[in-house]
Amino acid sequence: MKAQNRLDSIAIRVDKEQSLAAVLTDIESRTSIKAFFKVQWLEAFAVDTALNGRSLAYVLDYLLGSTDITYALHYDYALIFIKDPKVDMARANIVRNASLRRKEIHSVTLGDQRKFKPGVMLRVEGVVIEERSGRTLQDVVVRLDGESRTLTDSLGRYVISVQPGEHILSFSLGTYDDSFVSLGAYAPGQLNATLEALPVLLDEVVVSDQQAVNRRVGQTSLSVSALKRMPSMLGEADIIRQVQNQPGVTTVGEVASGFNVRGGSVDQNLVLYDGVPILNTSHAFGFFPAFNADAVGNVSFFRGGIPAEYGGRVSSVLDISGKEATDDWHGSGGIGMISAYLAGGGTFNEEQTSVMASGRISYSDWMLNSIRSAYSDLSESSVNFFDASLKVSHRFSDRSKLTFSGYTSADRFSLINDSVYHASNFAGSLRYTFKFNDKVDFSAVVDVGKYQYKLTDNYLTTAFALGYGITYPSLKLDLHFEGRRRVSVGLHNTYCMFEPGYLKPTTSESNAATIQIPEEHGLESALYVSDGFNFSEKLFVDVGIRLTMYNTFGPGTRYVYDEGKPIAIQNVSDSVVYEDNEIMSTYKGLEPRLSLRYILSDNASIKFGYNRIFQYIHLVTNTAAVAPVDVWQSSNSYFKPQKGDQFSLGYFMSSRNGRYEAFVEGFYKQVDRVLDYKDGASLILNTHPETALIPATAYSYGVEFSVSRITGRLTGAVSYTWSRSFRQTLSSFQDEMINGGDPYSSNYDQPHVVQLNWRYSISRRWFFTGVFVYHTGRPMSVPIAAYTVDHVPVMEFTERNSHRLPDYHRLDLALVLEGNHKRRKFWDGTWTLSLYNVYARKNAYAVFYQDNGKGVLQPYKLSVVGTIIPSLSYSFKI
Amino acid sequence: MRRHVITIWLLAILLFDGCVEPFNAPVVEQQPGIVVDALLTDQPGPQSVRLFYSSGLNADLDNPELIAGATISITDENGRIEEFDEVSRGVYQSDESFAGTIGQSYKLTVLTERGEHFESDFIQMKPAGEITSLYYEYESAVLNQGHPELPQDAVNVYLNGKGAADDVSLLRWRWHATYQVHTFPQYRIKHSPDGTILPDPYPCSGYIVDNENKLKSIFPCECCECWPTEFSEHASVSNNQTTSNVFNRILVGKIPVDQWRFLYKYHLEVEQLSVQDDVYAFWKLVQAQQQGGANIFQPNVVKVKGNLKRISGDVAVFGIFSVSAVTSAIVEIDRDDIPIPPYVPDVIIQDCRNYKENSTNVKPPFW
């Protein structure tokens, strides 16, 4: 602000402290100066006797220098004060948005408006707690006038410095209702906030990459809120599908229960439900999600820079926590086209014990039965699934707590011809946590996971039962220190029992063979330490190391194959038999982890991540997606563990008003010893899988760009990913090479991926949401020639994955009508009208070949979704 | 398993209006490769090799472009060379006395007129073991070939076999079968210019048309009774998942029941061939390619690898040189073995030799 002569010559004289407004009125009476201002603008500024003798120009600059109020002198007498409207507008916007979202705004004044020290920044601090339980909340985003300022620490504390004056302070965290405070700050002070868990069970998972600047590289927090608002397939809200819409994540199609992260395969994702790995994440072979979104609390997704506490899968971690009841008794439910669900919970025993339960069951048979088509037999088929969860926790004291979490899902699929497919997942855990003090806590977890399936055929002459199962109990001990450093130490042990499969006839007339593949037993142990600290004011470092070991135990037989020959049964030279509990193979791995965050400014940071991870169990598959009869294979004497290394580097920024966030992140990943299949290999019930699989090196690299708008009536994100994913076999035997040992595209090498999602509030109750996805068609091989040998037709194909399916793209829209917005009402219902695949594109799921009757294979395209799929669903909460 | 997967499609089709439609796969222009179809057995010669170009995807596989003028020989491990003569375009045969000997190794050499040179490694002939029994079972409505509304019955032919002792047996099975058809070539007609219908018997029918425009037999019909032979068109190899040498209830053929095959009887001979590693791998891949069809979870995009190496030239070489000892067994399936007898055949007005492929009017010795 430029000094102005006239104002320099006017000296200040006050007898006692007066408001600036009063001083100006006095000056007007003494001089020809006329001041134009709004009294309330200047009342906050006080002039005390220490300023006597100073010029008016000096005093104005001193008091208003760092505020949004400026002044100017015109015609040597008119002193005009101007208030910059932007800050007010931003505040007004926040207030408007908050009221649009039916938020209450509390008013808090710190200090006396008349008695504050001008020009001094005020320290405002406080603790954020959960309304019901009184527990402190970590990682709450604190925003001042819409600009994000800080996160609460592990004890729920925050500190910010503010200019004196009127502000809007907001607090937000994942599944909690945002809290807004209209703050009059005139003195340093304490301001505590309470957050209320969203009173209802989730509607849908909305991806909110809040605080992109402050999170780890490669981390996304999927906050589960406002659930029924996104479009979905047949009205089933799907967490996995939301993950599939993250930058760097792709999927091979609709019947794909897994997802591919940064060019990795589906088995390289660690999906945890309350800490227990879940191996099958879908119902009905991938059509529907296996998790009831109403029962899910928080979801964290890491696709790079994976912390040391996680291990065992090389590509990503999807950590899902079951919802814990923290409120009065409440419930929710919904009805979709194929399933209905209920969830509910509450606390009792003076809120020391909480219970949360959910269940979902399908009733899709009516759809099958109601459709008349050429496939009339299908009305005899049925598709059923259910899932359920229960979470009970009890606080013995403020320090100790015991939590039980159980989850189960099951599928039953019966077919025209008497065969029945049955699959189930189970995950149960018992967790005890103990707080030694504010800084140290300990947890011990005993859990067990199980995945199994069975296929039975009851047709008289072919009757058989085919089964597979894996059970994995584990014990995990963790110790966390939270202070200036965030240190974690843990010991994790998981015992894996593989029942790799059997086939047996079930009637005496049956022709089915009897095959029993011997069980395998493995023990995965891990010891980790991680340390997160601020190396300097700007550089945050999280360094960790994880030491892993995997042992397999007898009984078992190891075949020795002739050296210098391909691994094939005819080349077995010897076999070694192992007794019960005798160690058959041992692998060790040292896994360094590093995550760095360098703050460039309040709104920008650079992040770096490196992780090495060993993976000891492998999904044996010759398809890109998870197939119903896939087999998880233990590492053993033949299959060495996969070793994955990933580097990622990203630049993150947010706009000053916190409305937009953007990032660009690049990665390079190499995984040694992934298992790829030999051409024509039969993988189901293979008693010698080592003869059907070849180790390959997988490598992928790419860049992800993302821009999101996170506040306002229109929110959403657009992202673009360019990446490549290759594999290469390294063997000297022709039989063990794919494409002659040259690199080839992996099944999910999809160079260009565009993802767009948005949510627009038409009014307080109406929302218009949408998702658009585009990706390059995935690789395939095509036939190029045909011939017969000894009357048998043979097709010649191009090298593996040398060509591509047509590109995939799809638009989904939804219109959501929420209930009225009275804050305390008994029943709150939401209608969602979803349109899946709006322009009815017949995206190719797979290309397969059928004999044209003359021995030549003709290509056919299978489109799982061939039309627009409308659905209407209703959900409620009480 | 396959049915199961098909039902997944059906689910997709019903729930989501999913669909299966012909797909225009990217067209890869490629120079045709040369296919070598060579088999050396321990049975009395002549041994035979076929040489032809691979076909495009819409071509007739049974009539490929044969390659004449090549020089083909088989060399044994002692350096003895057996030269093959071209007996018809693209078909080369050894001397009648030439046959492989179990335990010996053989190498195939192919030199085309255009200078392409292909060779195999030395391949040892292993013993074929024995077929201990061959039997069949009738199964109703098992074949629908994409038309669930048209179920078709079949006769399944099974064998029990043994590999040669003290060896992991890699075996391949193939069959050929003969049956009888009869036609009425004498009933051919033609239209005269004024529109009247006139008899026009095939000359081989033994009938002529007399002055009154009536049929008259002047010698016995030569093309009214024929014996077509059909060959297995599916690769069938032993399971190498087991170290056992005994193979039980191997389904070697699924013979569709139609109006002709079991009208009198069906004479089927199964051969069990010993195959060396690379030859086994070739047939195993072909089998996987054939079985994988219609299964989205078991893709049949299988790159088949032959055992011939290109020494010179720039044309790709496909196919296989198989060195196999052979043991065989015969089964005759009678009309009475078919619970639901085939319906009466249509009246076919044709030279019976042209009605079915590989037909002869010479009654086979076993008939």
Q: How far is A372 from chain B (nearest CA, A)?
A: 9
| pLDDT at residue number A208 | 38
Task: Say if CB A249 and CB A261 are below 8 A apart.
Answer: yes
**What are A114-164's pLDDT values in tens digits?**
666 665 678 888 888 887 667 788 888 888 877 777 888 877 889 888 877
Q: How confident is the model at residue A608 (pLDDT cuts 50, 70, 90)?
A: very high
Percent of chain A surpassing pLDDT 90: 27
**Residue in A419, A572, A735 nearest the CB of B281:** A735
With a cut of 90, say whether residue A269 has pLDDT above it. Answer: yes
Task: Say if CB A823 and CB A871 are below 8 A apart.
Answer: no
| pLDDT at residue number B65 | 93
Q: Which of A791-795, B3-7, B166-170 ranks highest by mean pLDDT?
A: A791-795
Rounded to whole angstroms, the Cα distance separating B201 from B183 reads 12
Nearest to A674 by CA among A701, A639, A646: A639
**What are A372-420's pLDDT values in tens digits?**
444 444 445 677 888 999 999 998 988 899 999 999 999 887 755 567 8
Mean pLDDT throughout A862-870? 78
| pLDDT at residue number A301 | 87
Q: Chain B residue closest to A570 (CA)? A: B168
With a cut of 70, say whether residue A622 has pLDDT above it. Answer: no
Mean pLDDT throughout A567-589? 89
**Using the beta-carbon criterion (under 8 Å), do B235 and A623 form an inter-chain contact?**
no
The CB density around residue B129, as the number of other CB atoms within 10 Å, is: 22
| pLDDT at residue number B143 | 65
The residue among B7, B121, B283, B310 with the most chain A CBs within 10 A of its CB, best to mutate, is: B7
**What are A281-338's pLDDT values in tens digits?**
887 767 777 888 788 887 888 888 899 999 999 999 999 888 887 667 888 888 887 8
| pLDDT at residue number B89 | 95
- Lowest mean pLDDT across A139-153, A747-761, B19-33: B19-33
Tokens of B234: 């599916």
| pLDDT at residue number B185 | 92
Task: Say if CB A664 and CB A705 are below 8 A apart.
Answer: yes
CA dihedral A203, A207, A213, A219 (to 10 degrees): 110
**Residue in A367, A511, A865 nearest the CB of B249:** A511
More confident residue, A154 or A647: A647
Mean pLDDT throughout B309-325? 93
With a cut of 70, say whether residue A570 has pLDDT above it. Answer: yes
- Residue A252 forms contact with B (CB below 8 Å): no
Q: Chain A residue closest to B9 (CA)? A: A864
The CB density around residue B214, as the number of other CB atoms within 10 Å, is: 10
Q: How far is B59 from chain A (nearest CA, A)?
A: 8
What string of DSSP letters covers A44-72?
A: T-EE-GGGTTSBHHHHHHHHHTTSSEEEE
User: Number of C-alpha atoms within 13 angstroms, CB side, residue A439?
Assistant: 7
With a cut of 50, say whether residue B4 has pLDDT above it. Answer: no
Domain ranges in chain B?
A: 2-127+277-325, 130-182+224-271+328-360, 185-217
Q: Which residues of B touch A788 (CB under 8 A)?
A: 37, 61-62, 64
With a cut of 90, say whether residue A78 has pLDDT above it. Answer: no
At residue A410, what are phi and psi to the nearest 5 degrees? -150, 150
The residue among B1, B5, B9, B16 with the most chain A CBs within 10 A of its CB, best to mutate, is: B16
What string of DSSP letters covers B193-226?
A: TTS-EEE---GGGTEEE-TTS-EEE-S--SSSEE
Between helices A20-30 and A56-64, what is the axis angle to 10°? 160
**What are A706-743's pLDDT values in tens digits?**
998 877 788 888 999 999 999 999 888 877 888 888 99
| pLDDT at residue number A277 | 94
Task: Say if CB A626 and CB A451 are below 8 A apart.
Answer: no
Mean pLDDT throughout A92-120? 70
Q: How far is B66 from chain A (nearest CA, A)?
A: 12
| pLDDT at residue number A627 | 60
- Residue A786 forms contact with B (CB below 8 Å): yes
User: Number of C-alpha atoms within 13 angstroms, CB side, residue A618?
Assistant: 29
Pairing between strand B117-120 and B308-312?
antiparallel
What string of DSSP letters covers A81-150?
A: EEE-HHHHHHHHHHHHHHHHTT--EEEEEES-TTS--TT--EEEEEEEEETTT--B-SS-EEEETTEEEE
Task: Say if CB B67 and CB B315 are below 8 A apart.
Answer: no
What string of DSSP letters covers A188-222?
A: -EE--EEEEE-SS----EEE--TTTTTSPTTEEEE
More confident residue, B121 or A511: B121
Distances in Å between the alpha carbon of B301 and those of A680, A787, B3, B241, B295?
A: 8, 15, 19, 22, 11
Q: How confident is the model at residue B2 (pLDDT cuts 50, 70, 90)?
A: very low
- Residue A766 forms contact with B (CB below 8 Å): no
Mean pLDDT of chain A: 82
| pLDDT at residue number A245 | 82
Beta bridge pairs of residue A100: none
Q: How far is A392 from chain B (nearest CA, A)?
A: 37
SS (H, E, C) B124-168: ECCCCCEEEEEEEEEEEEEECCCCCCCCEEEEEEEEEEECCCCCC
| pLDDT at residue number B15 | 54
Q: Which residues of B touch A845 (CB under 8 A)?
A: 12, 18, 296
| pLDDT at residue number A700 | 96
Q: How confident is the model at residue A3 (pLDDT cuts 50, 70, 90)?
A: very low
CA A418 from chain center: how many Å? 40
With a cut of 60, say whether residue A371 has pLDDT above it. Answer: no
Distances in Å between the alpha carbon of A751 and those of A248, A265, A702?
A: 10, 15, 8
Q: Which stretches within A443-596 are classed as H helix? A: none
Beta bridge pairs of residue B216: B208
Q: Which residues of B touch A846 (CB under 8 A)?
A: 296, 299
Local structure of B289: helix, strand or coil: helix
**What are A220-235's pLDDT values in tens digits?**
766 565 445 677 766 6
Q: Which residues of A touch B275 (CB under 8 A)?
A: none
More confident residue, A755 or B259: A755
Task: Say if CB B253 and CB B175 are below 8 A apart.
Answer: yes
Tokens of A702: 């790419």
Nearest to B284 by CA among A792, A452, A248: A792
Q: How confident is the model at residue A748 (pLDDT cuts 50, 70, 90)?
A: confident
| pLDDT at residue number A456 | 83
Q: Which residues of B touch A339 (CB under 8 A)?
A: none
Q: Establish whether this prediction's ipTM goes over 0.95.
A: no
Rounded to whole angstroms, the Cα distance separating A147 from A91 reads 10
Rounded to whole angstroms, the Cα distance separating A575 from A525 reads 28
Rounded to whole angstroms, the Cα distance separating B73 from B94 reads 8
| pLDDT at residue number A218 | 67
Rounded to whole angstroms, the Cα distance separating B315 from A422 reads 51
CA dihedral A693, A697, A703, A705 (to 10 degrees): 30
More confident residue, B367 or A809: A809
Tokens of B109: 């050499």
| pLDDT at residue number B25 | 72
| pLDDT at residue number A229 | 63
CB burial readout B88-103, b (16+ within 10 A) else e: eebbbbbeeebbbeee
The residue type found at B191 is H
Q: How confident is the model at residue A430 (pLDDT cuts 50, 70, 90)?
A: very high
> What distance separates the 2 farthest-apart alpha carbons in chain A?
118
| pLDDT at residue number A460 | 65
